[in-house]
Structure 1
Amino acid sequence: MRFPGLICSTKELAAAQNPVIIDCRFDLSNPEWGYASWLEDHIQGALYAHLDGDLSGPIVRGQSGRHPLPDREILSERLRKWGVTNDSLVVTYDQGPGAYAARLWWLLRDLGHANVVVLDGGYNRWTNESRPITSSQPVPSTGSFHPTDALTRAVSAERILKDIQSDRTPRPNDPRLSLIDAREAVRFSGRAEPIDPVAGYIPGARSYFFAENLGQDGCFDLEVIRKRFSSMRDEDLVCYCGSGVTATHNILAIRLAGLNEPALYAGSWSGWITDPTRPVETDPDN
């Protein structure tokens, strides 16, 4: 079964035939909360993916951000253990906002798997609609997934730094990078930094808090998303956040707005500041 879009509704998931459902619930302040919640209850057939253990690689002190991208073959093997094949419809969800689910959505597409969608509204919407849940743990058959060419774009810190330091004039077919920061405004500006040791943002970046992609119902608000991002259609967008997670939510939103695929700077802010020679800006008055 194939879904035409990038997200799916609870109704569409309920009607889907043989999807591979992956529960990505997570809490940065309590890393085992998501797994404990999955053990307690989850959507029928859902397997659990841990942000730190499954969807990230080892942290390299002084080099990587807090959530490095996992090794492609290691992640591919996990997908096979979860029963994923190259023909599988994969549905990802988290507690609601969708950032952790979007991380797996991006990773699957990075492995060349296009048939993946994020459950709009997540587990909160599913349970608020009194849809069926269970505590039983599925035992999937081993899948045959193998990675193919990436459907994503990624840039390095070195590429961003080169662009910042360049004095070249942008051209229509060779624009400068446009950095989009998904963190909350108070962190972007440097007024507060509760997670990373240095506050601020990468020079030239603009603040687009990922949660503002959602409506009051916790689902993607397509009208708002189009207003936020449609003017960026001709820009070479690069999304980042604190550690390469919520940036994927903005990538998903930008795609929903009909724009081309933005690049991900996976190291994000926590990776950028590992090198003290890289420039940092703050805007404490805003």
Structure 2
Amino acid sequence: MRPSALISATELRSLLATQNDVLVVDCRYALTDASAGAEAYANGHIPGAHYADLGTLLSGPVTGMTGRHPLPDPQAFADGMAAMGANNDTLIVAYDADDAMFAARLWWLLRWIGHQNVRVLDGGLKTWLEAGGDLNTRAPSAQRGTLALRTRDMPTVTFTDMLENVESRKRVMVDARSPDRYRGENETIDPIGGRIPGALNRFYKENVDAGGRFKPAEELRAAFHELLGDTPPEQVIHQCGSGVSACHNLLAMEIAGLGGGTLYPGSWSEWCRQRDVPVERG
């Protein structure tokens, strides 16, 4: 059985005081301001934490037909984590401001390259401060680690796969965007509004409580069973706007004991850029 995908602020403080091979990674970011996360990190972060930028390390180059946050080259991503000091056995803890939207992306990417020893700080930086943790502004140095690509167990699908699935409906699609964007309303990020035909909606923020902590596993399990019925996790494709908040639903299902889902990395931002694709609204 895999260890918990989450770690509390209290547990993290204890580990940092007693263990050496722990790498903390700050994933703060703002979709509306690409520099906001790095600025927040520079203004104060968990001591010893490195910064992972969504637009660079956690994504690949954007082209005219990709989504907004394509997956990075796996080797380049592994090299970037090794440069922070990550080894094959290192416990890597990802955090962001509060609800783990961006931390979940790092969690998924590390699992994608075969690194199992990764956890997300439940409640993010907010809970760290509430637990009495301090911040500093020093950028840490690190001796290069040995983290390398290993067996990858986080499946993905392509645009072509999604187009075929829209016709066959062999697998269930889950859209992690807010209900209004799912309906095609108030779209301010992508060129057009709407959703991939047949997709169900599970807004990622429904996975956490008002304080940004994930809801109990039993509650998450019941909610996903209500949404998906008897569909096994392996038959579920997760997508969102650009493949980021979809990772949050994948993490929530993992917490609920329903791991095994698939990510469509391009998500709506790739789908809506293709010619003559079907779109649902309302």
TM-score, L = length of structure 2: 0.93
**Counterpart code for 2:47:** Q
2:82 paired residue number: 80
> SS where residue 174 of structure 2 aligns?
strand
1:37 paired residue number: 40
> SS where residue 165 of structure 1 aligns?
helix
Deviations 1:230-258 (A, max 9, x none): 34353311100000000000000011111
**Counterpart code for 2:231:** D
Q: 2: distance between equivalents of 1:260 and 1:9?
A: 21
2:265 paired residue number: 266
Equivalent residue in structure 2 for 1:68, among 67, 70, 83: 70
User: Counterparts in 2 of 1:99-178, with a 5 A limit?
Assistant: 99-166=101-168, 176-178=170-172
Q: 1: distance between equivalents of 2:68 and 2:138?
A: 32
**Counterpart code for 1:229:** F
Shift in Å, 1:207: 0.9
Give the paired residue count: 272
Deviations 1:1-24 (A, max 9, x none): xx8211111111111123100000
**Does 1:181 pair with 2:181?**
no
Shift in Å, 1:72: 0.9
Q: 2: distance between equivalents of 1:117 and 1:260?
A: 15
**Does 1:8 pair with 2:19?**
no
1:281 paired residue number: 280
Task: Tell me the percent identity.
Answer: 39
Contact 2:114 2:149 in 1 (8 A): yes
Shift in Å, 1:274: 1.4
1:172 paired residue number: none
**Counterpart code for 1:270:** S
**Does 1:234 pair with 2:236?**
no
Shift in Å, 1:73: 1.2
> SS where residue 153 of structure 1 aligns?
coil
TM-score, L = length of structure 1: 0.92
**Does 1:191 pair with 2:194?**
no
2:198 paired residue number: 204
Contact 1:86 1:146 in 2 (8 A): yes
2:243 paired residue number: 244
Q: 1: distance between equivalents of 2:14 and 2:84?
A: 21
Q: Select between 107-116 and 149-158 the one with higher mean Cα deviation.
A: 149-158
Contact 1:230 1:257 in 2 (8 A): no
Gaps (5+ residues) in structure 1?
A: 168-175
Deviations 1:120-158 (A, max 9, x none): 000111123331221111101110111011121111111
2:62 paired residue number: 59
Gaps (5+ residues) in structure 2?
A: none
Deviating 4+ runs (over 6 angstroms)? none
